[in-house]
Amino acid sequence: MNAPTVTWKYNLHDPDLGLPRNLTAGVNTRIVCGDEAMISVVRLAPNAQGVLHQHPEEQWGFLLEGSCVRVQGTEEVAMKPSDFWHTPGHTPHGIKAGPEGALVLDVFAPPRPEYKKAGRGFGRGQGAKPR
């Protein structure tokens, strides 16, 4: 029996999910945007690194698979699956994937305007300080 198609159900492993964005070498995301928040399903290749950046939007991140080191301000903290973190707006942050890579679910509120379209890079959200 086929399940009915619904417009509010998504799957993290759907290769066509949302809008694609290449953040940097080995770090790619698919973005799904709502009215007041957005999610970013980030896949990091083994040992890939995101650049240190900041933006005005609040961010929550959830490590779903693999391992990583979360960089926030001057701290670097090892993360394992099921760990999650909070990043207030305007806080410098980044990530370093472990040897097996990582799958991270980020939630932004409000949505990041530059992530509402496919593109490249971490963006420079309104009010963000240049890298």
Domain boundaries, the chain: 20-112
- Does the domain at 20-112 match CATH 2.60.120.10? Answer given as yes
Burial label, 77 (beta-carbon count in 10 A; 0-12, 13-18, 19+): exposed
Residue 39 reports pLDDT greater than 50:
yes
* pLDDT above 50: residue 130: no
What is the pLDDT at residue 128?
A: 41
Going by pLDDT thresholds of 50, 70 and 90, the confidence category of residue 1 is: low
Residue 17 and residue 118 in contact, taking contact as beta carbons nearer than 8 Å: no
Query: Residues 41-71: pLDDT tens digits?
Result: 999 999 999 999 999 999 999 999 999 999 9
pTM score: 0.89
CB 86, CB 92: distance < 8 Å:
no
